[in-house]
Structure 1
Amino acid sequence: MRHALLAALALAATPAAAQQARDSLTIGITQYPANFHPNIEAMAAKAYILGFALRPVTAYGEDWKLACMSCDTLPSIENGQAKLEQTPDGKPGIRITWRLKEGEKWGDGTPVTAEDMRFAWEAGRAFETGFGPAETYRSAYEFIVEDARSFTVRFDKVTFDFAGLGQFQPLPARIERPIWEADKAGYRTRSAYETATTNPALYDGPYRIAAVQPGAGVTLERNAHWAGPAPAFNRINIRTVENTAAMEAQLLAGQVDMVAGELGLPLEQAAALEKRSGDRFRFFYRPGLTYEHIDLRLDNPVLADRRVRQALLLAADRAQIVARLYDGRQPVALGSVHPDDVMYDKDAPAWPYDPARAKALLEEAGWRPGPGGIRRNAAGETLSFDLMTTAGNRAREQVQQILAGQWRAVGVEARIRNEPPRVFFGETVSQRKFTGMAMFAWVSSPENVPRTIFHSDEIPTAARNWSGQNYAGFSNPEADRLIEALPLELDPARRRPLWSQLQRLIATELPSLPLWHRADAHVWPRWLDGVRPTGHQNYSSLWVTEWRVKP
């Protein structure tokens, strides 16, 4: 295995100019997945890599509209594949039937069937497994196999996005079910996606994972049993370079052909490179649904006080940071909803830079100036906490330094402590081990109800095997009510007031500090065509069969 890995990585290091046939493509990204299971833990690096190797049932395209990926037809009330009904306890429900495309196969030639979807449902329903988002499985109370390719799911509520299945996607039942049944709580580490990652039978996309070097890279090779359009490359090498300066150096040296915008160079670094490199590369800037923010540990007594959270945002000059670091290309965020989203409320509380008001709020909360300028409370505790993010990301590290300086000016100490992405996301954030602040980005789909990040049922705990993404620990009955009501309203006009109420509540309570909505900088070689960035959580890798080498 070691020799195979070294050979694969040697190919990855070959400059593009030397690959005359262009039968391979080397892509640089800044993170390495914490794991490879598609249904456990959401991480951008994993989603990008698995986009080449797995087919979700549905996905949002570059037009932000839902479409089938591995199904024949998108279910609707009109075509009869979605039918309103009552649940066994008399509540409004819906039954939805999906039919998988003919010819869908795993990498060992075995057909993808409804039984593979049934297993994903069974495992997701068992909370000890730790699948997410948990609400999808909780609501799907019955699964019916109609035939080898068709399955029906009965949901105990009717939601406006009922036709999509999100992260709920097939798993090879004949491989994964025995492992899961033997140890449901230990499944996340015993799954074949972790112990036999290069097994072709785990993948049903145009590519399969053929080799991995933990922390450094992944090699993908064509799936011989893929029935869809043939991809252009025999091999795709994903190289993880966590330091963005090193990423740029490898791009210029020809060690990587392209840098994926979804996980690549910060916007300002890419813009500077574009000016220096002339027409050597193609640059494309895609604004979208990537929301940079800081999660706050709300069971930290200091951050539990809403006045402190509001003061922190008032003392952060986000507009200056955007102008200084990003040339004004990224809009300051009011919250997680993007300004281009149809349900955006522009009148939600905005918290513009106001250090005087920030100081007044801190005084009101009992924090007085102390030695060295750092505030203390009556018990003598200092107003200080850790500010963490992904190590090696130059833009985030710059933001940390600026924020720490702005907060110190109002008497708050932010201690910078960073970790490699695979540790930061794999343990510190997902298991709520951070004690103060965690800065990272959420990527969502259009009109995405933020249940998994703001509903109290989604706070990760050891008892639930860390399922859920409410890392802040936010618990608010009114927020829960709105989050539960929103998906049930099928009329967009009636959903709008609910969205406004939720956005204004979150913008007031501030379980996380909104920073800005990111624009992704994609850097491609001149000879590559057909990459279509989406600007949301269904990444461009899902449409790799459209990528082509220019003649």
Structure 2
Amino acid sequence: MTRNRTLATTLMVAVTTLSSAQAQPRDTLTIGITQYPSTFHPNIENMAAKSYVLGFARRPLTAYGADWRLTCLSCETLPSIENGLAERETTPEGKPGIRVTYRLREGLRWGDGTPVTAEDLRFAWEAGRDQATGFGPAEYYRSAYELIVEDPRTVTIRFDRVTFEYASAGDFQPLPAHVERARWQADPRSYRTRTAYDTETTNPALWNGPYRIAAVQPGASVTLERNPAWAGAAPHFRRVTIRTVENTPALEAQLLAGQVDMIAGELGLPIEQAIALERRTGTRFRITYQPGLIYEHMDVRHDHPALSDRRVRQALLLATDRAQITERLFAGRQPVAHSSVNPLDPMHDPDVQRWPFDLVRARALLEEAGWTPGPDGVRRNAAGERLSIEFMTTAGNRGREAVQQVLQGMWRAAGIEARIRNEPPRVLFAETLSRRRFQGLALFAWISAPESVPRSALHSDEIPVEARNWSGQNYGGFRNAEMDVLTHTIPEELDRERRREMWRRLQAIYAEELPAIPLWFRADAHVWPQWLDGVRPTGHLNASTLWAEEWRVR
């Protein structure tokens, strides 16, 4: 009798405890990522960490969804020739042009209650048109030569060229004119250091998404809370904390200790680390591997004395056994890249030139380029200078740092010395790359949208210079006249098959000239708790957080 009563009591306590836990629904979420944004301004610098964080707090005009189709977020209807919101015309200079009309959704408000209006779009356009501001991509603002405010919620933008992607607003999005315009007008060149996005990051008036940034710990975390001015679907979580842990083993440890609930695939564990985690923890977490338009590569400093020679770049690639690296480090889940265009992209050319691992040919090319073996095995030129190259990546990323060690050994066999020097992501992206301070090779990833023309990374006009306040992403300083023509004219070709031929030529130049050293196309490992639902990885430039109001507890 006593044992039965004790058992019954135990079961009642267990049921009561379970009921109590069920009665207290989860309303907070803590996310781990490996980078911290170098700036919170939507249009200054490009960094995946910023895109991920701002996805909770801002809504651009348009974005590509998880189905890779362009959709409206802040606009009512996607413009098209058929619905009359896009119309071909002739510019005042007699060039073929197009006018595109966007109408903002009703009820959009900044976090202080101020309506989001056409004036916010006008201000963003004015600031972007001024080169001193340093907004990117610069080509968008150069082409958008006039913005007409039709009414408080409607603008028409006139472009001096017609492109197949005319409906996409890209990074053009409203900025709160009532907060930012005066700061910008005072001095456009210094605006990037005085913007309220960085000096008053928790100002509600900066945010028009389902969440607003409520607190920041520089380099460590960002806390978001529900935005009471948001008129869309109510988000489930009362508070979302995004914690930056740049060291991926430490990030995994925090996940296992329950200090973070999930690790974002966009900026999380290297795939091999996630595979090992899944083996150890079984079904404790839901782990999804999402292939995508994520191009892991090495940017090349093209005015480097050795790397300016195409033969040296080709030798580096020939001395890199990429197939072995992807198999051994990434369980074969990351296919080798032969250009910057992913096989998942409809414009990928399967017949593009390939550079298989060939150490003999690599050595021959280096000999041809004038680099002969020295007494210590490192090659030297006629002046006695060593073939020694600085090699950088994001500090704390275990996967990339492992790749560096492997490459260092592979290249040594060809007579090339790699000097590893890494920096925290916020320093590498905000300073070293954007201001072209790296001296050799930089290993990181480009993330693109479907059929995204890489003008910003390959056109010579996009080489960051101080005169344009360091806008542009051609960090290596690559120059090629035919590539300039292609990256400018591909968007203007509306016939898909003719465009495909131009893409084929772009990839051929890329594979031959090697503006960057292609490595592989990355798959992201998303690590979620079993109780989280509604997260939809996109596999491209637009982060899953742009649809955070759909996230729910199971």
Q: Confirm or deny a common fold (TM above 0.5).
A: yes
Q: Following superposition of structure 1 onto structure 2, how do residues 5-20 of structure 1 map, counting pairs within 5 Å?
A: 20=24
AA at the equivalent of 1:290: I
For this pair of structures, how many residues does the alignment match? 534
User: Which residue of 328, 338, 362 maps to 1:324?
Assistant: 328
Pairing 1:520–2:529 present: no
User: Which residue of 465, 483, 486 maps to 1:482?
Assistant: 486
Match of 1:502 in 2: 506
Using the size of structure 2 for normalisation, the TM-score is: 0.96
Pairing 1:457–2:461 present: yes
Match of 2:249 in 1: 245
Q: Distance in 2 between matches of 1:19 and 1:322?
A: 47
AA at the equivalent of 1:165: A
Pairing 1:126–2:130 present: yes
Give the 3-state SS of the residue equivalent to 2:297 in structure 1: strand
Give the 3-state SS of the residue equivalent to 2:254 in structure 1: helix
Match of 2:3 in 1: none
Pairing 1:156–2:179 present: no
Pairing 1:438–2:438 present: no
Match of 1:221 in 2: 225
Q: Distance in 1 between matches of 2:174 and 2:193?
A: 19
Classify 1:18/1:221 alpha carbon distance in 2 versus 1 (closer, same or farther; 3 Å): farther
Q: Distance in 2 between matches of 1:411 and 1:535?
A: 38
Q: Distance in 1 between matches of 2:76 and 2:314?
A: 49
Q: Distance in 1 between matches of 2:219 and 2:105?
A: 35
Pairing 1:208–2:212 present: yes
Match of 1:10 in 2: none
Q: Following superposition of structure 1 onto structure 2, how do residues 146-545 of structure 1 map, counting pairs within 5 Å?
A: 146-545=150-549
Identity of aligned residues (%): 70
Classify 1:19/1:524 alpha carbon distance in 2 versus 1 (closer, same or farther; 3 Å): farther
Stretches of structure 1 that go unaligned for 5 or more consecutive residues are 1-16
- Pairwise CA distance, 1:428: 0.5
- Pairwise CA distance, 1:20: 4.3
Q: Distance in 1 between matches of 2:282 and 2:304?
A: 49
Q: Give the superposed CA RMSD.
A: 1.0
Match of 1:88 in 2: 92
- Pairwise CA distance, 1:408: 0.3
User: Which residue of 50, 54, 69 maps to 2:54?
Assistant: 50
Q: Distance in 2 between matches of 1:355 and 1:168?
A: 46
Q: Distance in 2 between matches of 1:350 and 1:24?
A: 48
Deviations along 1:441-487, one digit per CA (max 9) or x if unpaired, are: 00000000000000000000111110000001011100001111100
AA at the equivalent of 1:518: R
- Pairwise CA distance, 1:22: 1.1
Q: Distance in 1 between matches of 2:96 and 2:439?
A: 42
Q: Distance in 2 between matches of 1:462 and 1:18?
A: 57
- Pairwise CA distance, 1:217: 0.3
Q: Distance in 1 between matches of 2:237 and 2:252?
A: 23
AA at the equivalent of 1:54: R
AA at the equivalent of 2:473: Q
Using the size of structure 1 for normalisation, the TM-score is: 0.96
Stretches of structure 2 that go unaligned for 5 or more consecutive residues are 1-20
Q: Distance in 1 between matches of 2:282 and 2:346?
A: 37
Q: Distance in 1 between matches of 2:527 and 2:409?
A: 32
Match of 1:8 in 2: none
Q: Distance in 2 between matches of 1:103 and 1:475?
A: 46
User: Which residue of 78, 82, 103 maps to 2:82?
Assistant: 78
Match of 1:14 in 2: none
Give the 3-state SS of the residue equivalent to 1:185 in structure 2: helix
- Pairwise CA distance, 1:18: 12
Moved over 2 A (4+): 17-21
AA at the equivalent of 2:35: Q
Give the 3-state SS of the residue equivalent to 1:186 in structure 2: helix
- Pairwise CA distance, 1:19: 11
AA at the equivalent of 2:316: L
Q: Following superposition of structure 1 onto structure 2, how do residues 21-36 of structure 1 map, counting pairs within 5 Å?
A: 21-36=25-40
Q: Distance in 2 between matches of 1:400 and 1:20?
A: 47
- Pairwise CA distance, 1:161: 0.4
Deviations along 1:67-112, one digit per CA (max 9) or x if unpaired, are: 0001000000000000000011000000000000000000011110
AA at the equivalent of 1:139: S
Rg comparison, structure with higher value: 2
Give the 3-state SS of the residue equivalent to 2:539 in structure 1: coil
AA at the equivalent of 2:510: I
Q: Distance in 2 between matches of 1:34 and 1:484?
A: 29
- Pairwise CA distance, 1:21: 3.1
Q: Distance in 2 between matches of 1:494 and 1:383?
A: 43
